[in-house]
Amino acid sequence: MNQVLEKTVKDTNDLNIREIVVAVDLSPHSEKTAAYAAKFAKSYGASITLVHAFAPERITEFTTQEVRESYREEEREAERALRKLAEGVRETYSDCGCEFRIGDPAEEVTLMAKDLNADLIITASHHPHFLSRLFGLDQAPRILHRAQCPVLVYHEEKELTEP
């Protein structure tokens, strides 16, 4: 046990956090999550990549052209919002990129982390209701179960919530 600890903590600079993937859902909370991630990255001199995964279109044979166009518009709007968020971060921390993906958020975020060989994933949890958790709407636990690297779950405010 001692050897494990000594080997790991032998030097302050041993903790190499060079690449951070930041998963954002583009809700109002995302600004603070991105800002926290940027401050975190700054202290390690790490690169951050903001990732947003847009849920795939629910197109059936009965989907009208109008509905399809509305999905497309939502998708374009989300991509624009992600780019703006990244631009905002870059004004104070230049080493920030962004990646817009289509697919299941937890899967896409963990794939992205794997592709980039990320040292850390930062995401947020907004303390959703029990039913939201039951139906898998809270992505943080899903990311935790798929991730191959440490995951930091950011909470915006220091307050306790109902179990």
Partner 1 sequence: MNILEETKAAASQSINEDRFSIAKVLVAVDLTPHSEKTAAYGAEFAKSVGASVTLLHVFPPEPNVEFASESVFESFERSRRLMAQRLTKLIDQVRETGVECDRDFRVGDPAEKIVESARDLHADLIVTGAHHPGFLGRLFGLDQPPRILHRAGCPVLVYHEGNE
Write out the residues near partner 1 by the rule CB under 8 A.
Answer: 1-2, 4-10, 12-15, 30-32, 34-36, 38-40, 42-44, 80-81, 84-85, 87-89, 91-93, 125, 127, 133, 138, 140-141, 144-145, 147-155, 157-161, 163
| CA distance readout (Å), 31 to 37, 65, 70, 91 | 10, 33, 25, 13
Q: Least distance (Å) from partner 1 to the CB of residue 155?
A: 6
Please report the sign of the dihedral spanned by the C-alpha atoms of residue 132, residue 62, residue 105, residue 157.
negative
Q: Which is nearer to partner 1, 56 or 150 (CB)?
A: 150
**Residue 111: its H or E element:** helix 105-115
DSSP at 55: P
* Smallest separation, CB 62 to partner 1 (Å): 32
Nearest-approach distance from CB 102 to partner 1, in angstroms: 20
Q: For partner 1, which is the closer residue by CB, 1 or 62?
A: 1
Write the Ramachandran bin of 145: left for phi over 0, alpha for psi from -120 to 50, otherwise beta: alpha
Nearest approach in angstroms of CB 22 to partner 1 is 11
Residue nearer to partner 1 on the CB measure, 44 or 67: 44
Closest CB to partner 1 among 5 and 64? Answer: 5
Nearer to partner 1, 100 or 154 (CB): 154
Q: Least distance from C-beta 143 to partner 1, angstroms?
A: 9
In terms of DSSP bridges, do strands 19-23 and 96-102 run parallel, antiparallel, or are they unpaired?
unpaired
Residue holding tokens 């980039």?
Answer: 116
Three-state DSSP class for residue 129:
coil
